[in-house]
Chains A and B, each alone.
Chain A
């Protein structure tokens, strides 16, 4: 990587050197092990591992629950962002700060707390049990935990966009005869849609890799409520390094694809805003 323009400021060499060395040793090298390890497996071995029914079931659980959780977060995240930006009520600033709790709270703490909350004798679980709704130790519980984890991603991505919305545009729509609902669906929502999509993708990406908050409430029953991260750990404990790497590789590729998509969406949004 060469400097293409001569710069007056010093420190380029040093800072770039530190950055590249650090990234190579701390990030690229460790990540490379996954690829080299999987290369050890033959294609059949890889495919066999990855299509094993238990593994497939875990993919279904992880991706399925993450998808549902991200969708729920998209709807309610928009609602929360709207209320925080548009309305005044006592304690608004406090509520605004609390939204970041899932960012700050260690996942294990969230995990044990949610499990206790939704167990059949828990504060919430006890009301759902008679209704026949079991949350703890089912995929519903997994989804609940993933909702907790992903909420701030949607809210924080949508909030600035809502904040920047010009009042005049809504006034214009009203002066042209639009009812409030029409203004919301035809003017506000299309403007917020890109941010919503990005928030959804971020929540989804976080959810598929989540371990700590989920592993307590899921019950970890193979084929039913076993999430992929747990399956990887199980394989590692059994010294099935190859198997663990194979499963992890699929996850990694999915995560990278999501990361790429998210960055592309944000780049497209920046271009549209700049134009």
Chain B
């Protein structure tokens, strides 16, 4: 069941939560809505669910207009950040709820309900806890119950609002992988909201990056990471250094150095910012032929296979972070206070006005 979102607009008083958002979620895919707080991703999710109504725009499920359909008719499963389990019911009764409230004509028999619920409990590996109350479960277990409950009514779309946000880091990682596996088994169109980029990139088929109520970029995890379309995406994903300089005749001038920026060869002279990933900063003991920025090592810390360097540029005192492979760092014999030369590669250059800092 695919989802088509067109020109959605939503304001809360003066605040614009969604500003002309359009999106396509192909059937069967697991899509992540990624962005910082206030980007509108949760609002978008809730509008798709029918828990909020948009001011303008439409929502279609597989081509059928669902914009004004009430939530209980949309057949969406919703998983809340804080689980929203029914505290006075057992795990079994929670999961059975959606089946038990069906109108009499379409309500399954108790035996059928029992089969469905136990099947789901096995799927989420909680069958032994069927009679427990939610208060007796851990956070991770509660979230799995919430998921089973949402799946019990065989939804056409599964929506998850920061499902692992309330859990410990370790549990979050486990459940992340488990969600991926579940999706491969059940294959329901799923959309989940997160502010954790690692989660979004690791789990989803497609990532939609949002900022300030707008979609910045939509694509596979590889596409958005390797080919960021906007300065925001560039700065949001991965660790990034910003170098301020001038764009002129297809080259960008950073201090005394010049680097190629062929995509701007026709552009007028203007101030610009170059985004360089931390692992794209090459560190050498002496100046190389290309751009070489002189810097002093202020701090170095080894993290497993990578050495993280904090460097201070000599020309203006700006801080640059470089992640260097262990082997290379050892061979360079990097030490605090040492003078080195930096060579940024893989620059993404944007005019100054375009970059949201």
Contact = CB atoms under 8 A, between A and B. Distances in A.
Interface of A: 166, 168-169, 171-179, 182, 186-187, 190-191, 275
B84 A179 contact: no
B101 A178 contact: yes
A176 B84 CA distance: 12
A190 B97 CA distance: 14
Contact of A175 (B49, B102, B135, B136): B49
Given A172-B78, A175-B76, A176-B153, A191 B98 contact: no
A275 B88 CA distance: 12
Contacts of A176: 72, 77, 97-98, 101, 149-150, 152-153
A175 B97 contact: no
B-side interface size class: 20 to 34
A109 B106 CA distance: 58
Nearest to A187: B86
A191 B88 contact: yes
Contacts of B76: 175
Given A173-B97, A173-B101, A191-B87, 18 more contacts: A166-B84, A168-B80, A168-B84, A171-B78, A171-B80, A171-B84, A172-B85, A173-B86, A174-B51, A174-B70, A175-B51, A175-B76, A175-B77, A175-B150, A176-B152, A178-B98, A179-B72, A187-B86
A187 to B, nearest CB: 6
Contacts of A182: 101
Given A168-B80, A168-B82, A174 B71 contact: yes
A166 B71 CA distance: 18
A175 B74 CA distance: 8
B101 A186 contact: yes
A174 B98 CA distance: 9
Contacts of A178: 72, 97-98, 101
Contacts of B50: 175
B72 A174 contact: yes
Given A182-B101, A186-B97, A275-B135, A175 B86 contact: no
Contact of B88 (A177, A179, A190): A190
B157 to A, nearest CB: 11
Nearest to A274: B135
